Structure 1
């Protein structure tokens, strides 16, 4: 963002030998994401994920493998209730379990990591067809490993490995994260194999893993759903589907503690609309404009996803410049969420950014916490945007660079 003040909204940086075009500010990013469409649909290769996934999975595959994995995943998640009433009930059930955990502290301080248990369990319910007890050793081990992997992905050594893979390989900078990933994959293979004897082709699909097993039982000439790619898909879902929601909830708790007036107003609105003891449902959102504004402002203020790397699939013109096919492009989402031309007080936590003069919720075009565009984006769960201490609340929220969010 500092470089853009000197070189303008479109400029080139050199990441090792790779020239990368950076786009800053709402107008430049909007042109890139809403304009070319399919021309920025590809992703540049990231060295560490090429080693981990070897072209498999959802977020780092390409061509036919990516299309097959993405279409399969979207279809299965929809059949499991994502975006429908069935998913709401699962979320509220998990919320009840989390509330009971919080009540157990009787008003005393609790570890913020606890707020990550519920969203992680919702993802695990979709993946494996059952929730885990918060004390389950598999659950505890998996969350601990995810946390360690995220921190390692944000380490300076991994960033050096991604920019200079040959040097990183020589110095073995990738070995710590690969070892942790192998432990995660071992747990996932165990869970996958435990379900395999119970799944028959044509049976009702109760989980993402069940769907993968059934798909692998049919004609699969390219082995798109053989065990290695099945594990890669599950790994992508686990890693990308847990950390971002957990980090957002932790930041929300921190910001409510820092802004007691905002916390009080949210509680007042919830009490007024929901009454005592009733959990919120999607249909209540229209009646909760201030609460909705606060949730949106949390995501804007913490800039959870600094950028989603893209890659041109054809010669593309952006900002008056011609970008050859295969050029990596970084639309800097942080610069959009903090753009002084779009937000009244970009550096401050201000729910008023999403409210009109009458207190009604207002959608903002510059609200792009997870990218945008006609082509569904494929951010992963790491890459060169990460920094040490990934996903952890710190005293200065704007110094955080957590992992990308769970989207396709």
Structure 2
């Protein structure tokens, strides 16, 4: 079942509903308030991972993504320590970063000059540093808005209830599979002024300063939030800012200057279709 089907079901049946994958019952959570309540406020009750059969056979219950209990806690601590010490994201983060960098270069076209002007004014020609982010609010807003709209991981990996729980008036037995629908959070019409449009102002206040939004959950939330979030955010910022510092991106010769098609292709993640663009090297400091 596609993310679009789940999204339509959430509009029809509300923020908590049940679907069946064959005989398997799955409870879907939709909308910012419901997903946050479950993953954050009820973190213990919804904090276990419902391992896929193929993952059980391949990993034998090990691995930070699919394990539970003390084993998961120990592996999570170990993984976070190594991510901090060595900055290594491995394949899962690499796929996400690659897909989002591609999306960044496609979707922001109409904001090209504004981003480049801010980078030139704040950084000039020196090397970009992570600390520059706080002084580049518009650039940071464009990156966040791209992640929100790109929505390349529309559903969090399946959770399961660790105990019997009553949630929003519904009784869920221990071991119930739960699927948080991240698409419904990132496109929640009660949280975003223009949920289906590319609108960097979602992350800016009236004075142009960057504003963090609680409904920004491309990495999920709660106990099972993506371990590589900090690394991915750092790399996306450095890659994107460095590219815009040294290149101007334009449509390829013969390609009409129009908004790129962003209908995603389905794979392990959702990625935009391929586009032909030109990267023009700046032989002098950015504009």
Q: TM-score, normalised by structure 1?
A: 0.53
Matches within 5 A, 1:44-123: 44-80=50-86, 82=87, 123=88
- Choose the corresponding residue for 2:197, options 332, 341, 348: 348
User: Which residue is 1:319 aligned to?
Assistant: 168
After superposition, what is the alpha-carbon deviation per residue over 1:113-150, rounded to whole angstroms, capped at 9, x for unaligned? Answer: xxxxxxxxxx4xxxxxxxxxxxxxxxxxxxxxxxxxxx
Alpha carbons 1:36, 1:316 under 8 Å: kept: no
Alpha carbons 1:338, 1:346 under 8 Å: kept: yes
Determine which structure has the larger helix proportion and give its number: 1
Query: Following the alignment from structure 2 to structure 1, what is the Cα–Cα distance between the partners of residues 80 and 59?
Result: 20
Q: TM-score, normalised by structure 2?
A: 0.75
Instruction: Identify if the C-alpha distance between structure 1 residues 284 and 30 changes in structure 2 by more than 3 Å, giving closer, same or farther.
Output: same
Aligned length: 232
Query: Following the alignment from structure 1 to structure 2, what is the Cα–Cα distance between the partners of residues 300 and 17?
Result: 33
- The Cα of 1:5 is off from its aligned counterpart by 2.0
User: Which residue is 1:137 aligned to?
Assistant: none
Alpha carbons 1:301, 1:398 under 8 Å: kept: no
User: Which residue is 2:177 aligned to?
Assistant: 328
After superposition, what is the alpha-carbon deviation per residue over 1:140-177, rounded to whole angstroms, capped at 9, x for unaligned? Answer: xxxxxxxxxxxxxxxxxxxxxxxxxxxxxxxxxxxxxx
SS in 2 for 1:37: coil
Alpha carbons 1:305, 1:401 under 8 Å: kept: no
Alpha carbons 1:303, 1:398 under 8 Å: kept: no
Alpha carbons 1:59, 1:378 under 8 Å: kept: no
Query: Following the alignment from structure 1 to structure 2, what is the Cα–Cα distance between the partners of residues 288 and 63?
Result: 41
Q: Does 1:3 align with 2:9?
A: yes
Q: Does 1:300 align with 2:148?
A: yes
- Choose the corresponding residue for 1:37, options 40, 43, 57: 43
Instruction: Identify if the C-alpha distance between structure 1 residues 58 and 328 changes in structure 2 by more than 3 Å, giving closer, same or farther.
Output: same
User: Which residue is 2:90 aligned to?
Assistant: 238
After superposition, what is the alpha-carbon deviation per residue over 1:351-380, rounded to whole angstroms, capped at 9, x for unaligned? Answer: 11111122111111111111112x243689
- Choose the corresponding residue for 2:27, options 14, 21, 29: 21
Alpha carbons 2:186, 2:218 under 8 Å: kept: yes
Query: Following the alignment from structure 1 to structure 2, what is the Cα–Cα distance between the partners of residues 378 and 294?
Result: 21
After superposition, what is the alpha-carbon deviation per residue over 1:310-335, rounded to whole angstroms, capped at 9, x for unaligned? Answer: 11101122221111111111111100
Moved over 6 A (4+): none
User: Which residue is 1:278 aligned to?
Assistant: 126
Query: Following the alignment from structure 1 to structure 2, what is the Cα–Cα distance between the partners of residues 399 and 354?
Result: 27
Alpha carbons 1:336, 1:366 under 8 Å: kept: yes
Unaligned stretches of 5+ in structure 1? 83-122, 124-236, 381-393
After superposition, what is the alpha-carbon deviation per residue over 1:41-95, rounded to whole angstroms, capped at 9, x for unaligned? Answer: 1011212222322222221223333233222222233333x4xxxxxxxxxxxxx
Query: Following the alignment from structure 2 to structure 1, what is the Cα–Cα distance between the partners of residues 216 and 106?
Result: 21
User: Which residue is 1:267 aligned to?
Assistant: 116
Query: Following the alignment from structure 1 to structure 2, what is the Cα–Cα distance between the partners of residues 61 and 37?
Result: 16
- Choose the corresponding residue for 1:255, options 107, 123, 134: 107
SS in 2 for 1:40: coil
After superposition, what is the alpha-carbon deviation per residue over 1:282-319, rounded to whole angstroms, capped at 9, x for unaligned? Answer: 22111100000000001000112212121110112222
SS in 1 for 2:49: coil
Query: Following the alignment from structure 2 to structure 1, what is the Cα–Cα distance between the partners of residues 142 and 149?
Result: 10
Query: Following the alignment from structure 1 to structure 2, what is the Cα–Cα distance between the partners of residues 379 and 356?
Result: 29
SS in 2 for 1:29: helix
Unaligned stretches of 5+ in structure 2? 1-6, 229-259, 271-287
Alpha carbons 2:189, 2:195 under 8 Å: kept: yes
Query: Following the alignment from structure 1 to structure 2, what is the Cα–Cα distance between the partners of residues 364 and 27?
Result: 13
Q: Max radius of gyration: which structure?
A: 1
